[in-house]
């Protein structure tokens, strides 16, 4: 079977295939105004939430344990609870440990893209098949409303300067991933009154860069974040956005907004019972 048909995030047709998210990436290099990373939280299911953060050796051991228990486990991903590339030593070590004993598993990573230019070549050389990049804005003005700050090599950027730095790195990194043959999914968090009118332009630009799939995620208001006061966008507005953006890129409509320690199929997550 073609590999895209065994990755449950890239096509809804493979709903009986499973994935595992290995929570080895606690640090993040940006602060999004909708994001709150929580640990030891078992009552929430959303990105940034984990029961515990693992060291690479423990994560690899957990992967092989789950491989023996979960049917059709085809994908090992690292999706936080922070940013995969802000934790690259731990992430690369985890994947290398798994690859030594499993030559067939597909690897995927999720990142905000700030460090993509730095690590794109290593990502490809390590055999990462898929990368998800969260792109929420195409203008520095919009980005300035979404990102509280960007931390690059110990220097803190804010406002439009932060947003411009992040966008430039994302665009450069996506071009590099394309040149290395890595398949890319774009996540865009739809934030009412902030970026929703810009999302079609994001889809057009990402399609030009060769990205394979677009996942428009309605923002979830989370207590303790700067956007906690905003309402989740209405389902019909998200559906309309997807229809518009479909003309440039295939749209993901089956996302479950998984935890950073998810395991199992999208419809039957087993993280609670397996940790």
Predicted confidence (pLDDT) per residue in 124-175, tens digit: 999 999 999 999 999 999 999 999 999 998 999 999 999 999 999 999 999 9
Q: How confident is the model at residue 256 (pLDDT cuts 50, 70, 90)?
A: low
Q: How many CB atoms lie under 10 A from the CB of residue 141?
A: 12
Give SS3 for 129.
strand
Phi first, then psi: what are they for 228, rounded to 5°?
Answer: -60, -25
Residue 22 pLDDT level (bands cut at 50, 70, 90): very high
C-alpha span between 160 and 145 (Å, rounded): 9
What does the pLDDT read at residue 269?
A: 47
Closest by Cα among 136, 86, 105 to 18: 105
pLDDT at 273 exceeding the cut of 50: no
Confidence band of 244 (pLDDT split at 50, 70, 90): very high
Say yes or no to pLDDT of 12 above 60.
no
Pair 183, 10: CB distance under 8 Å: yes
Threshold 0.75, pTM exceeds: yes
| For range 52-69, the mean pLDDT | 91
Q: What is the pLDDT of residues 172-226, one digit of tens each?
A: 999 999 999 999 999 999 999 999 999 999 999 999 999 999 999 999 888 888 8
Residue 95 Cα distances to 15, 46, 120, 127, angstroms: 24, 23, 15, 9
How far is the first Cα of the chain from the last one, in angstroms, to the nearest whole number? 31
């Amino acid at each position: 079977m073609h590999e895209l048909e065994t990755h449950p995030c890239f096509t809804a047709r493979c709903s009986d295939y499973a994935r595992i998210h290995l929570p080895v990436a606690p640090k993040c290099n940006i602060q999004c105004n909708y994001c709150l990373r929580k640990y030891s939280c078992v009552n929430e299911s959303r990105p940034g939430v984990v029961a515990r953060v693992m060291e690479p050796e423990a994560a690899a051991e957990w992967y092989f344990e789950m491989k023996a228990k979960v049917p059709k486990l085809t994908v090992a991903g690292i999706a936080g609870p922070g940013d995969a590339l802000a934790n690259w030593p731990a992430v690369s070590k985890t994947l290398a440990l798994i690859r030594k004993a499993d030559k067939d598993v597909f690897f995927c990573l999720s990142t905000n893209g700030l460090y993509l230019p730095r690590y794109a070549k290593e990502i490809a050389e390590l055999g990462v098949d898929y990368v998800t990049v969260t792109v929420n804005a195409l203008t520095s003005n919009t980005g300035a409303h979404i990102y509280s700050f960007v931390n690059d090599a110990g220097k803190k950027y804010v406002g439009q300067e932060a947003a411009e730095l992040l966008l430039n790195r994302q665009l450069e990194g996506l071009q590099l991933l394309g040149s290395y043959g890595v398949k890319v999914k774009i996540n865009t968090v739809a934030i009412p009154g902030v970026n929703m009118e810009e999302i079609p332009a994001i889809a057009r630009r990402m399609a030009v860069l060769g990205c394979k799939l677009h996942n428009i995620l309605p923002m979830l208001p989370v207590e303790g974040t700067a956007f906690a006061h905003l309402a989740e966008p209405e389902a019909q507005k998200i559906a309309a956005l997807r229809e518009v953006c479909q003309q440039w890129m295939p749209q993901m409509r089956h996302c479950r907004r998984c935890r950073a320690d998810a395991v199992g199929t999208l419809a039957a997550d087993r993280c609670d019972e397996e940790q």
